[in-house]
Each structure stands twice: as structure tokens, then as C-alpha cells.
A and B are shown apart, each in its own frame.
Chain A
């Protein structure tokens, strides 16, 4: 197992992937705020290319690629490690960050002659900071390193919530910040326990050393609770709806699509990598129950919201719930756990793209109509056909109708729960689909109707075609995920500890 900590070919790419957004942040400061937008914009293609190159290396090698920083293998040094899911998440993050950059250019531009604004500079720098933090989370393999990235993620995400300075956004941001800090403390306590008991924080090394001792379980429980707080799993979702619903659309898309996935990703790392060898059935069931509660409660609450953005935010609460079904459905190393694993990751990706597109569309709607009250959407689809097409296609994925990534995810989840005999999980999966259909229907049915009650729909301003196209492109990715070939799911298995047992 010595190769776990030695640099492999292509390992340097991981460093570059982290350095790129960090360099962007420094560059944005140096020549002044006016160029921050350009820096962010020009770095995105490189980030995307790097992510693709990493995926290529991982795919070709068929095993994780590693970079030992300073040539020192763990436990002395710190390693960066990218496996199948890291590579896929890196690509997803690069795509969504690119989309958000293009989408936000109009709102956070600093045209020639205009004064530099604080909000523009903040937005571009925080966007790159989030990207950097996510990259570290996806390729990091040291629990303390990951803690730092998690903190960076939170501290970069909070300012995005309150970027326009309205009082309610400040309240939402503070709520987010404080609760995320509780989560951080809990996580850090767990990390400290691991270090004290095992003398290393490297995921691969820990995985070899952990035993089912009370210290390990305490550490795991503390870390998990902290991560759940940051992922906003019901019932600790208090900060998510106001934060996601009040942020500007470009920021909401990043927060809902990517940021919550960061802490979820670490939960996966903890239970499927660090603690892979231990019996975790009961914990998996607890997480599954919490997820199911989130699916049901989040969906019902989404059905009851009056504002479109709040509806979408509660839909995120519900969709996060689905993610946690991966713990019971991918546990162990049976044939069905591979299906459950694929299903969970597919849900992460499908939700990331579909939800980002939905938030973009909600932003366009709010700008065009001057409000985001669902009750007043009557006939709006006629005025904004492309935006509503995006919402409809994104809704397709949320509801789990084919062809879409959401369908593939739910289809595989159902198969995993049937094959594993865990019948119970089929209920929240199906109920969530039905309720999702309900809230998508609530948006689309009035919008597609004639709308003669309120007279002609008046648009305050026509959304830019390019903006509508960005949102549409993201949903098309969510739809295209429904056609993912078998090799894609094999790729997701690369580096997963339990998959080694499979034939």
C-alpha cells in the first residue's frame, strides 16, 4: 500500500487545479476590482480543461492519481488524491462555475467609466474562492486540510448571500454563518479525536487503521453532525431556505448546486472511505431516515411556498434528502451497492445541473416580471418560452421522469432498494417524485395557461437570449445525464474502497 502516498503520473494536475482559482483571487486584488470579472472569466476554460485532464488520467490509469506535496508521503506529508468521483465533481464544478460566471457578467459588471463597486469585487472573488475550496474538497485526502477547505467554502459562500446588503439578506447570511460555524466546530472536534487516537489524518491511512472503538464512533458522529449542519439536511436546514432564496440568482445556483454538495462529498469520504471496513448498517439507516424525512418534509413545504425562489430552495432541501439514501443503498460490497453508489452520485450531478438552471431561470423570471410570486405567473410562458422550457426540463429531472439524470438516479435507487431487500426506501423515493411533480405543476400549470384573468403579461425587461441559453444548456446536461453509458458508472467506481471486492 506504499503507492497510496507517492506521486503518480498526472499528479501535478491536482496542484494546478487548486492553484488556478487561488491565483485568480490574488490576481483579482492586484490590478484592482475592474479586472476581477475578466480574471474569473478567463480562468474558467483552464479550470475546465484541468478537470477534464484529471478525469482522463484517472480513467486511463483506472486508479486514483496522487500528488504528495513536497515529495513527502503521508503520514509525514500531505497527499492530494483524485479518484472517479473527484474527477466527475471537478468537471461538474467547472461547468457550473463557468455558467455562473457568464450569467453574472451582466449584473456584476464594472463598465468603463463607472465606479468600481464593492459588490462586484466581492462576487468575483468569492466565486473563485468557492471554486478553490470545492477543488480542495474534491481532491483533498487529509481530514484537517479538508476542514480548512470547508471553512473557506463557508466563508466564501456567506458573503454571496448578503451581497446586495438588504436587511433580510444580512439576517439570512448571519444565520448561515453561525450555524455553519457550529458545524465546523463539531467537525473539528471529530478530526481532533481521530488525530489523537490514530496519529494521522490521511484518509487512506486512517482507513487501514480504524477499529470499531468508541473514540472512532464519537469522532465519526461529531464529524457527520457537523457536515449535516453544513449540508442543511432536515431538520438542521434552518439556514438554507432564506439564504438560497435571497441570494442573487447566480449565487443561489452555486450555493444550491455546488456548495451543499461539498459537505455532502465529505460525508461520503468519511463513511465510504475512512470507515469503509467497519460495520455501519445502523448509522446508514439513521442517515437514510433523516434523508427520507427531508425528502417528504422539503417537498411538502416546497408545495406551500408563495415565492418561486423559496419553492426552489425547499426543493433543494428535499433533493438533499435523496442524497442521503446512498448510505443504506450503497453500503457493503454486494452487487446492488454499486447500483446504489451510482444512483447517489447521479443524483448529486443531476440535481446540481438542474437546480442551477432552475435558479438561473427564477432569476430571469424575477427580473423580467418584477416579482417572483407563483400566483402571478399566469400566462407568463407565452412571454418567456425559453425560460419556462428550462424550468420544465429541470422539473422533469427533479420529478424523475425520463430521459434525465434524475430519472436514472431514482431508477437505480429503486433497483438498489429492491435488490437489497430494503423495501422501505422505495416509499420516500416515490413520494418525493409525486410531490416534486406537484410543485413543478404549481409553477408550470398557471404559466402555460392563457392568463387572461390578469390581462396581458407585462414584461419589465426582456431577458437576454444568452442568459436563457446558459440556463437551458445546464438543464440539457441534466437531461443528457440520463443517457450516461455504463462506462460512466464504472468510472465512478474508480478508487472506491469497497468496489475492490467486486469481480
Chain B
């Protein structure tokens, strides 16, 4: 049995890699790309099996890589694989994206699957880079000035995050006395490591850039609004979860780190409300969804922070569940932007209701997957100010999502064309799936029937209702007194960060002048003499 599972685990990566290999032969390339929706099927299978299975480990011979699948990884893997299958199949059925886009799509897919099954530092880093860097090609290969800017900003955050993680991983590896780079081993060794705190800080910052944690949130609204809807659905749904699994894997939940945990929870809650407030100033549904992602990832960060304070190792599965629910819901909401725009005024009553339920599911509307997700992280937000803040965040999410639904009434130009026809046709089915599927995956530890308890039903209902009513009532009321929300550029703080970056760029010309001087003969001669003297003084 375990042999079979190991084969399946390897196949989850081998299948998309085989397609990538086929792309090198020109004749097969088109077919390989068109068939890539099949590639995540082994991942889906192993993800479903791994949910209720002891962690699987497999050492890939020669390469030195280790694959490992534990229940949190399996949960996110299954969700991501499902999303990749559905969207890829529709995309290549209805329109044939060009090879450049297709290759980037496939590479992102490989990386995205890989982060959930990587069992050692090196392969995790490799897949994490693959999940992030080629995604540039899904929206930025363009001569459009705005897209270029977005692409450059996305790339800057991605590479900066990679650099921080590289340093963090080097610390983790240096802490392991036996030279092992397996994640399980290095995390065990981290507790006694002198670099524990530095590594934790770098890990929070590095993965924080991926999940849009403030102050690294600016790229997210820009990217999601630039990306075509299928790509935005994938990036917001599955792509961001690479950061979530990273935090789950590399935060030492077993070692209570009060300081880091407290700081993380604070940043998390801050991001949660920041996302809501700035999302409310926007009118583009895609941008609002991006701010909602910032907010939701804030909830996950806060939950991780609380788990870190208390040293709750079992929190990882609960948090992964919260992430998996967000994965399905957010992707389907992005598709809703296209689907409802395509149907326009003809949108059936059903699909409007579905969109509303789906949107409010993020706020924890009872009987939806979102309610289960809130239930899952309840242990982290059990008491004190954390509980209050969590409830407030639910109200805020309901407010933001109602704002999103109102803005959805005005179809986004071009949205209908971006979304493949079959995704538009089957959107109600997808939405229903996103609402109900989480019920099938509720973590083994939790009891889904809790969700029907009256107290929990009410706890879910009143913040959602309050937030929705606020949004519905407040908007017209404000408009009547002639007060409108201030207009904030998409990506808010990114404008300031760009200014700072431009300031940094200005050092370039001065360095160029310096270089020109240094490359004069007299200067070079003096440099050489100085080097001799400095070496002499250093050695004697």
C-alpha cells in the first residue's frame, strides 16, 4: 500500500514534469499544453488519500530530494489540484493560449504542486520559486505600460521574498548538526538554534511578501487586476497558498515563541482590517477581491501568530483548512466576476444568490464552508481580545464582500471575454461546489456537526448580517450627504514604495561617475598601490 502511495506521490510531480519535457519537442508542444489539465490528477488523488493518512515520506534517489505529504499539505494540495484541473481544462478547451502563456502556466502549476509535497529545504525553495517567478508570464508579457509596471513590482517583491527566504533557509540548514536538509529535521533542530529568532523573522517577512502581509501588500491588487480572470483565480486561490504552506511548515509551532507569535498576530489583524478599509475605497471587483485576499491572509497570519504564542502544533491542519476554503471560494469569486459580467442583466436569480452566499461565506455565513473555516480556527481565537478582533474581522469581511457584490452589478469591461465560456456556463456548479466541498474535508479532529449548533449558527450569522446591512445602508446614506470615499490608488502603499525605489535608482548615475573615475589610469594605479598597502598593514 505504502509503495503505491509513494508512486502516487512521485507521480504528482512526474506527471506535470513529463508534460514539461514534452514541450521541448516542437511537434508535441501544443498537445502537451492542451493536456496539462490532466497533470494534477495524481496530485488530487494523493491529496485526498493523504488527508487521513499518516505523513508519507519518500526520498527521490540521486537528486537528494525528499517528498513529504502530511494532512495540512494534502488538504491544500487537493484543493489546488482541483482548481488547476478545472481552470486549465476550460482554458484550453475554449481558447488556445499561446505557448509562452502555456509554458508559464505549466511551470507555475509544477511549482504550486511542488510546494505542498516538498520535504526538504532545497526542493521547497525550488518549487516555491517556480510557483512565483513564471507566474509573471501569466499577466505581464505585454507592452502595455501599466502591465509592465505591475510585472516589475510583482517581480521585485517575489525576488526580494526569495532572497529573505534563502537566508532563512541557510540558517535553518546551519542549525542542523548532521547536515540534513529535511524540513522535519531542521525544524526539530531549530528549537535549540542560536539563530532561531532571526530565522523566524526572515520566514515571516519572506512568506509575508507572498501572502500580501502589510506592508508588503501593494503588489497584490495590482497583479490581480492586471491578470486575466483565469490566471487571477489561480494566483489568488492556489498561488498564494504557497506562502500559507510555507508559514505552516517553517514557523516553529512546537516551540512557543511569545514575542514572534504576538507580533505575528498583531500584523495579521492589522492586515485584516487594512484590507477591509482599503478594499472599501475601490470599485473594481477584481481589486476588491485582492484586498479581501489581503484581509483573509491576515486572518491566517493572526491565527498562526496565536498558535505560535500558545505552541499549538495541531493548529497547522486547522489553518490549512481555512486556507483551503479560501482557495476554493476566492477562485470561484474571481470567476464570478467574469461569469456575471457575461450574463449581464440576464443573470439568473440563482446565480446572484449563489454569488452572494459565496461572498458572504468568507465572513463565515452559517452552513457554508466559510462557517466551517471559522470554526476550524476557533481554538486560536478562543478568548480575550483575539476573539473580539476575530468577530470584528468577520463583520469587516461581510462589509467588504457586500461592497464587492454591489460593485459587481456594474460589469467590468473585458471581464466577460477573459473568462472561458465553459467556466461561465458551469459557474453555478462551481459556486455550489465551493460552498459545499469544504464539508467533505473538515479536519478529522473537528466535528462538522458543531456547525449546526445554535450558538455557532448565531455566532456566524450576526456578524455577517451586521456587516452586510452596514454596507447596504451606509453607502446610500453617505452618498445622500454628498460624502464619498477618498480615492486611493490601486495598491495603496505601493506608490510610496515606488517613490523610495526611484530614490534608490538615483544612486546609479553617481556610481557610474565613480566607476568612470576609478577606471582612469591614475586612479587605477593608485588603487593598486593602496591595495598593496592595505594588504601589508592587514597582514603585519
Contact = CB atoms under 8 A, between A and B. Distances in A.
A106 B511 CA distance: 39
Contact of A283 (B100, B142, B535): B535
A400 interface: yes
Given A214-B540, A415-B173, A430-B163, A222 B532 contact: yes
Contacts of B166: 400, 410-411, 414, 430, 433
Interface in B57-98: 62-64
Nearest to A234: B518
B143 A453 contact: yes
B160 A402 contact: no
B532 A186 contact: yes
A199 interface: no
Contact of A300 (B133, B140, B142, B511): B511
B129 A300 contact: no
A236 B527 CA distance: 7
A42 interface: no
Interface in A392-421: 399-403, 410-411, 414-415, 418-419
A90 B148 CA distance: 44
A364 interface: no
Contacts of B125: 402
- Give the contact-size bracket for chain B: 35 or more
B159 interface: yes
A437 interface: yes
Given A235-B527, A450-B141, A441 B167 contact: no
A304 interface: yes
B115 to A, nearest CB: 13
B519 interface: yes
A418 B512 contact: no
A445 interface: yes
Interface string A434-472: 100100010001001111110000000000000000000
A483 interface: yes
A326 to B, nearest CB: 16
B512 A450 contact: no
Contact of B528 (A186, A214, A282): A186
B169 to A, nearest CB: 8
Interface in A459-503: 483, 485
Interface stretch (A47-55, A139-147, A224-232, A349-357): A224-232
B452 interface: no
B524 A448 contact: no
Interface string B161-174: 01100110111011
A182 B522 CA distance: 13
A282 B538 CA distance: 5
Interface in A209-260: 214, 217-218, 220-222, 224-225, 228-229, 234-238, 241
Contacts of A433: 159, 163, 166
Contacts of A238: 518-521, 524
Contacts of A448: 100, 137, 141
A207 to B, nearest CB: 16
B75 to A, nearest CB: 26
Interface in B283-326: none
Count chain B CB atoms within 10 A of each CB in A235, A283, A378, A485 and give the residue with the most: A235
B518 A235 contact: yes
A197 to B, nearest CB: 15
A419 B174 CA distance: 6
A280 B515 CA distance: 30
A122 interface: no
Chain B facing A: main interface SS: helix
Interface in A374-404: 378, 382, 399-403
A188 to B, nearest CB: 14
A303 B518 CA distance: 18
B540 A217 contact: yes
B424 interface: no
Interface in B497-540: 507-509, 511-512, 514-515, 518-521, 523-525, 527-528, 531-536, 538-540
Contacts of B540: 214, 217
B174 to A, nearest CB: 4
B151 interface: yes
Contacts of A236: 524, 527-528, 531
Contact of A228 (B148, B163, B531): B531
A214 B540 CA distance: 7
A301 interface: yes
A335 to B, nearest CB: 9
A286 B532 contact: no
B434 interface: no
B126 interface: yes
A229 B528 CA distance: 7
A448 B160 CA distance: 22
Residue among A236, A304, A430 with the highest chain B CB neighbour number at 10 A: A236
A225 B523 CA distance: 15
Given A286-B534, A414-B167, 19 more contacts: A182-B525, A182-B528, A221-B535, A224-B531, A224-B535, A234-B518, A235-B524, A236-B527, A237-B518, A237-B519, A238-B520, A238-B524, A285-B538, A300-B507, A304-B509, A418-B171, A433-B166, A441-B155, A485-B64
19 contacts: A217-B540, A225-B535, A235-B524, A235-B527, A238-B519, A290-B531, A301-B515, A401-B129, A402-B125, A402-B129, A414-B167, A434-B159, A434-B160, A441-B152, A441-B155, A449-B141, A449-B142, A450-B143, A453-B143
Interface of A: 179, 182-183, 186, 214, 217-218, 220-222, 224-225, 228-229, 234-238, 241, 280, 282-283, 285-286, 290, 297, 300-301, 303-304, 378, 382, 399-403, 410-411, 414-415, 418-419, 426, 430, 433-434, 437, 441, 445, 448-453, 483, 485
